[in-house]
A = this chain, B = another copy of it.
């Protein structure tokens, strides 16, 4: 059976990545979403197992030790990571999976799973990025400045991704994702079985 494909998706604050992903799952509900394991406390409104599995720091460090993670990061003193097993089980079953990570996590996944396709969601311009980061209207200039610098730091790694989707218009950006995913069936690693069949291997 042909394996599923892992899609890595990243994009800075202001890229609109979360909304694009939400719409994408409405369009392509057959794609699985990777649940991160994290050690920070649950926030109001969050549900265990929905976007995150909330686990103890001890369990997380054990997962690192046992090489059970496809990638992990520390952020504000808490661990964030993608467990390997659910990802590998998913793609072995033939189902595609989307993993949302930052540029650091994407680099780790690319290294451990070279067949993964990585897509970076970009704002259409610096001006739009600034407007979107200012848009909430409730934050001070220093907070916005910090968020902009962090966004620019992420964008500097965009060149390491396979594809760039410019999110100027939400529906168009979702269409772009669907188009990128539509060529996957032509990728050589999806056609090895046919090649081998013809060669009688």
What chain B residues lie within 8 Å of A186 (beta carbons)? Answer: 119, 163-165, 176, 179-180
Copies in the complex: 2
A85 to B: closest C-beta gap in Å: 28
- The answer to whether A161 and B183 touch across the interface, beta carbons within 8 angstroms, is no
- The answer to whether A152 and B198 touch across the interface, beta carbons within 8 angstroms, is yes
A19 to B: closest C-beta gap in Å: 18
Per the 8 Å Cβ criterion, residues 75-104 of A in contact with B are none
What chain B residues lie within 8 Å of A162 (beta carbons)? Answer: 187-188
- A1 within 8 A of partner (CB): no
- The answer to whether A164 and B191 touch across the interface, beta carbons within 8 angstroms, is yes
What chain B residues lie within 8 Å of A152 (beta carbons)? Answer: 198-199
- The answer to whether B183 and A163 touch across the interface, beta carbons within 8 angstroms, is yes
Query: Total interface residues on A, using CB and 8 Å?
Result: 37
Nearest-neighbor residue (CB-CB) of A126 within chain B: B198
- The answer to whether B199 and A156 touch across the interface, beta carbons within 8 angstroms, is yes
- A141 within 8 A of partner (CB): no
Looking at A119, A123, A176, A199, the one whose CB has the most chain B CB atoms below 10 A away is A199
Nearest-neighbor residue (CB-CB) of A182 within chain B: B179
- A158 within 8 A of partner (CB): yes
Known contacts A195-B122, A198-B125; A164 and B182 CB within 8 A of each other: no
What chain B residues lie within 8 Å of A24 (beta carbons)? Answer: none
A59 to B: closest C-beta gap in Å: 36
Question: 1/0 contact trace for A180-201 toward B, CB 8 Å?
Answer: 1011001110111011011110
Q: Which of B161, B183, B195 contacts A158 (CB 8 A)?
A: B195
Complexed CA–CA distance, A119 and B176 (Å):
21
A-B contact pairs, 25 of them (CB 8 A): A119-B186, A120-B188, A122-B195, A123-B198, A124-B194, A125-B198, A126-B198, A152-B199, A155-B195, A155-B199, A156-B195, A158-B188, A158-B195, A159-B188, A159-B192, A162-B187, A162-B188, A163-B186, A163-B187, A164-B186, A164-B191, A166-B194, A179-B179, A179-B182, A180-B183
